[in-house]
């Protein structure tokens, strides 16, 4: 499975560390390519577009807090980005929410926790069943209150 990965300047070092730690993953690196200041939205959008265009099935986005870049990625109707700070959140985001983008905050969690999150995100399947109905509601026209 090919995985898109992108970060702003604050997430650059963690992005590079994760790519090395998970060398078996087929990465589509969408930037940034250094520590010079950039806008997180550009990189959240890049991963959102890669999901939308079906270049990849899943993505990982990283900024300082994980918040801004996850908001940017979630602007795409095809994206379900989950900001996770531990492996339980990452596992549940896949099992219950069929998250296809993992968002991480490089200033919030360290490398080991980030690795735990990535392992859980990549290794957990969506359970479907009762959860599918709820996922379907996310794309429903007129929600909430439809």
Our answer to whether residue 115 is catalytic in this structure is no
Catalytic residue among 96, 115, 117, 131: 96
Catalytic residue among 63, 84, 115, 117: 63
What share of residues in the chain are helix, strand, coil (percent, to 5)?
45, 15, 40
d(CA 6, CA 61): 5
Our answer to whether residue 63 is catalytic in this structure is yes
Q: Name the nearest CA neighbour of 66 among 38, 92, 33, 102.
A: 102
Does residue 31 contact residue 43 with C-beta atoms inside 8 Å?
A: yes
> Which residues carry out catalysis?
63, 96
């Amino acid at each position: 499975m090919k995985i898109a990965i992108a970060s702003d300047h604050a997430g650059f070092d963690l992005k590079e560390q994760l790519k090395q730690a998970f060398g078996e993953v087929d990465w589509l690196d969408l930037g940034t390519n250094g520590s010079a200041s950039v806008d997180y939205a550009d990189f959240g959008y890049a991963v959102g577009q890669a999901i939308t265009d079906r270049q990849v099935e899943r993505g990982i986005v990283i900024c300082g807090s994980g918040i801004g870049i996850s908001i940017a990625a979630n602007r795409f109707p095809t994206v379900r980005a989950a900001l996770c700070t531990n492996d339980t959140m990452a596992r549940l985001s896949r099992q219950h929410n069929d998250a296809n983008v993992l968002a991480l905050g490089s200033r919030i969690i360290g490398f080991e926790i980030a690795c735990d999150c990535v392992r859980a995100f990549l290794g957990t399947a969506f359970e479907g069943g009762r959860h599918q109905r709820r996922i379907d509601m996310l794309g429903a026209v007129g929600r909430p209150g439809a």
